[in-house]
A and B are shown apart, each in its own frame.
Chain A
Amino acid sequence: MDMGILAQHLFNGLMLGMVYAMIAVGFSLFFGVLDVIKFSHGDVVSVGAFAALGGASAIGLLVDMPGLSLLFGLLAAIAVGGLAGVVIGGTLVLPLRNAPPVNVLLVTLMAGTILREAIRLGVPNGGNPKPFPVLLPQWQITAGSFSIGFDSVLILIAGIGIILATHLLITRTRIGLAIRAVAQDVDVARLAGIDFRRTVLGTFALGSALASVAGLMLGLYYREVNFSMGLVLGVIGFAAAVVGGLGSLLGPILGGFLFAFVQTLVTIVLPTASAYKDVVAFGVVIALIGLFPTGLIAERSSERV
């Protein structure tokens, strides 16, 4: 295999891993503050993609300025995704905080179904895939057999930037401090004067906005969005978060890139068996959990007596 193709594969894998990581980080954040799994998270990705599509198209109808369309698409994705997170968190997850965890899982799964069906029934012909407008410059970077769109590079850089920014937000700011405090010990955090409800909802907004922006980036990258795109991504994001270690920030990022790496590797090494790539990837997940029961980067306090 020549270097160009190898580089191309590497780039594809990085791109995929970045998207998985952005989704997985949300799972980890929610688990950190509330010890819950919010399974509608994958569908928030689709909601974000469609919100961005709506925002960008609306501007596109008024003026022909891709940059402005992109900005509005981004704002729409952040606003709608964050709102979805706050609404689901506030009306479904927080009130069920003392119910068995599986109830929360089921309720949020159903909330995801509602989001998904709402897109399918609410968008005209929503059952079919929708094209995403081209909003980034279309230059090609070519070197031998390696050819890559300039927009792909931009998307990758933006994604990594967003993940870094989230990391800084959690570790370096007061909001981050509050989130970390709630994650560590709710009661002590309350005593220290942290508004529990606001912190939790803020975390839900942050995690959901991340997933929502991931939806926008998927639209830009694949140039196509559809109502069920979040379903598989949700499962993979969850897997990545758990394998990496719930509750930490680095874990899910690691998990995301690992999952993408395994999937890409199977396609390269065993092209005729590429259909087995999910079998292998999930097999690796099971094996890793067997070896590292609390994730690659273990939870700070896995035992809460």
Chain B
Amino acid sequence: MKLKALALALAGLAGLATVGLQVAQAKDTVKIAFIGPLTGGSAAAGVGGRNSALLAVQQRNADPAAKYTYDLVVLDDECKPNVGVQVATKAASDRAITAGITHYCSAVGIATVDTYAKFKLPVVVWGAILPEITYGNDYKQIHRVNGTMINEGRLAAKFLTEQGAKTFVVIHDTTDYGKGQNKYFSEFLKPTGGEIVATFPVSPDQQDFTAELTRIKELKPDYVFVGGLTPLGVRVRSQMDRLGIDAHMAGVSGIMTSGFIEGAAQSSEGTVSFHNGAPLSRYASGQAFSDAYAKAGFREDPDAYGPFAYSAANLIMDAVEKVGPDRAKITEVLNGTKGYKALVGEINFDNHRQNIVDANVYVVQDGKWVYWPDSDYGTGKRKLAGK
């Protein structure tokens, strides 16, 4: 009898163990959407963000302590608002998807907020910097880990005037992005005493700036401030050289890409930019991210906003671990994010679910974007060329 009982108990234990093992092997799968531009002019940023989010998911899936298996559903918004609404609807109306890491392009980001709110899908914006995405509504579902162009504009005005610049010319594209950059830069420049002597709104796909730049040559500003993306920055920078304009150039985070340095080549030296992120080397786990990214074998760079997409993915997955794949509960957890330790530093959401971030200054030095305080220009070893 005893033996039989023992055998039974053993069998029971073995059974339990197998059940337990099966549970461990077949964790529930949780789907998270990633939406960004994977084709068209902004594809480099979108693909970098996708790779970074994918890396976060891969790392989590390799972690035996995680309660769920994660599946990243990648969608392309083409940087077009109407396509953005379509894919946002696709993601938000799919009950299997619990949260989203969404949008790089501001025009798309602002067009889709209503859709997410309507379907109650919690999303974390990873790249779009138009303030209105978080501040223009009171939707509980919309969060953002990266900063807005307000930060960049404020820092640009403060930093450039501190460098002794008095007169500025602004060239900005006529999209939301460029217009917003122009608005905040001009606003913050006023109290510092800096003067904008001319503003040139241009089309983002304009090729020739010689007419504008010839006017600028006549106006002799200290700085040309470019509110636009990489192609615009490259053209203005190369054509400034061609016309022999000796003003400095400063741009917003849209030009802080390796593409800018490649495109403008030697004339990119000394160009200043402002970006919401700090360099990876400044982050506590930056090196680990770089190493893991390199090891994962992605073809493309993470680009300037990759770390934010990575942080957004982790933020969401941690919320899922805490409360399970339930949209409402995840929204609640995300809303209350305070002091969350992420790759991009501590994440604190304000009452509009906007992360509070400081912008940083960068400069091109010897073909690389260098954190200003670390650069030869910042330490005073070199002087910016020009006057």
Contact = CB atoms under 8 A, between A and B. Distances in A.
Is there any pair of Cβ atoms, one from A and one from B, under 8 angstroms apart in the complex? Answer: yes
Interface of A: 1, 5, 8-9, 12-13, 15-16, 125, 127-131, 140, 145, 147, 149, 152, 218, 221-224, 226, 228-229, 231-233, 263-264, 267-268, 271-272, 274-275, 278
A135 B174 CA distance: 34
A257 to B, nearest CB: 14
B238 interface: yes
A271 B198 contact: yes
Given A12-B210, A12-B211, A224 B205 contact: no
A267 B201 CA distance: 11
Contacts of A152: 242
A15 to B, nearest CB: 7
A16 B234 contact: no
Interface stretch (B66-74, B100-108, B212-220): B212-220
A263 B207 contact: no
A115 to B, nearest CB: 16
B217 A8 contact: yes
A131 B218 contact: no
B43 A274 contact: no
Contact of A267 (B44, B212, B262, B265): B212
A229 B263 CA distance: 14
Nearest to B171: A274
Which 8 A-B residue pairs are closest in the complex by CB-CB distance?
A128-B259, A129-B263, A275-B201, A131-B265, A267-B211, A12-B210, A129-B234, A223-B238
B202 interface: yes
B244 interface: yes
Given A125-B44, A128-B44, A267 B263 contact: no
A129 B212 contact: no
17 contacts: A9-B211, A129-B262, A131-B262, A152-B242, A222-B208, A222-B239, A224-B238, A224-B263, A232-B207, A233-B207, A264-B211, A267-B211, A271-B212, A271-B215, A272-B198, A274-B202, A275-B201
B207 A222 contact: yes
A224 B262 contact: no
- Tell me the interface secondary structure of chain B in the complex: helix
Given A130-B262, A222-B235, A12 B214 contact: yes
Interface residues of B, number: 40
B254 to A, nearest CB: 13
Nearest to B268: A131
B203 A278 contact: yes
B259 A149 contact: no
Given A16-B208, A125-B44, A228-B205, A222 B264 contact: no
Contacts of A5: 214, 217-218
Decide if the interface of chain A is mainly helix, strand, loop or mixed: helix
Contacts of B203: 275, 278
Nearest to A128: B259
Given A12-B210, A129-B235, 18 more contacts: A5-B214, A8-B214, A9-B214, A128-B259, A128-B263, A145-B218, A152-B242, A223-B267, A224-B263, A226-B234, A232-B206, A233-B207, A268-B215, A272-B200, A274-B202, A274-B212, A275-B201, A275-B203
B230 interface: yes
Contacts of B235: 129, 222, 224
Contact of A275 (B174, B243, B265, B267): B174
A259 to B, nearest CB: 12
Interface in B249-267: 257-259, 262-265, 267
Nearest to A152: B242
Greatest chain A CB density within 10 A among B41, B211, B215 is at: B211
A268 B262 CA distance: 31
B302 interface: no
Counting chain A CB atoms within 10 Å of each CB, the highest count among B208, B215, B217 belongs to B208
Contacts of B325: none
A193 B259 CA distance: 54
Nearest to B43: A127
B199 interface: yes
A8 B242 CA distance: 12
A249 to B, nearest CB: 24
Interface in B155-178: 174
Given A1-B218, A8-B214, A131 B44 contact: no
B43 A275 contact: no
Interface in B268-286: none
B307 interface: no
Interface in B21-61: 40-41, 43-44
Given A5-B218, A8-B214, A147 B242 contact: no
